[in-house]
Amino acid sequence: MKESRRETLPPAESTDSVRVRLLLAVGEFMKSKSLKAALAVFFVCAFSFGASAEVRWIPANGQWCGKVCHDARREPVSSGQHAADKNSTEYFFVCSANMNGWRPGFNLRPRWDDACYVGYGGKEVAAKNYNCACE
C-alpha cells in the first residue's frame, strides 16, 4: 500500500499570535527587494489590530484566496487595496507558504491569483503550494 504524504498545516491561531508572527516577518521582507511583499505585510499589521475573528489557514490548491475563503464560508484576510489605478477594486489577500518555514505573503487578482508571493532569499517568489488566511 502506498503511503500518502500529507503536508502538515499550521494549527489555527488567535488573531494576536498571527499579528505577532507577521510583525516578526516584516524584518525578513525588508531584506527582500520586493516592495509589494513588504507593503502587503505592513498593511496587514497596520489595519488588522481591530480584528477579533479567529484566523484559519485553508489550503488554496492554486486558487484565488477570495474563492478559497468564501467556499469555506469565511472572509479572506485583506492587507489592503491594489492601487494599479484609481478604479481598482482588487485586494491583497494574506497567504502563507512553507519555504523552509511558514512565510506570509500575498495573493492578488487577476494576475497573481494562482500563487502566494513571499519574500525568500532576497527575492519575491511565487509559491504554488500555499494556504489562505480566512476569518
Instruction: Give the residue from 130, 5, 6 showing the smallest Cα distance to 68.
Output: 130
- Tens digits of per-residue pLDDT, 30-84? 555 455 655 566 655 555 555 557 999 999 999 999 999 999 999 999 988 887 7
The residue behind cell 491561531 is 13
Greater pLDDT, 15 or 6 = 15
Residues with Cβ within 8 Å of residue 119, at least 6 apart in sequence: 28, 29, 31, 32, 34, 37, 38, 103, 105, 125
Residue 75 CB neighbours (<10 A): 14
Question: Can you tell me which residue has the cell 516592495?
Answer: 35
Task: Quote the pTM value.
Answer: 0.61
How far apart are alpha carbons 23 and 34 in whole angstroms? 17
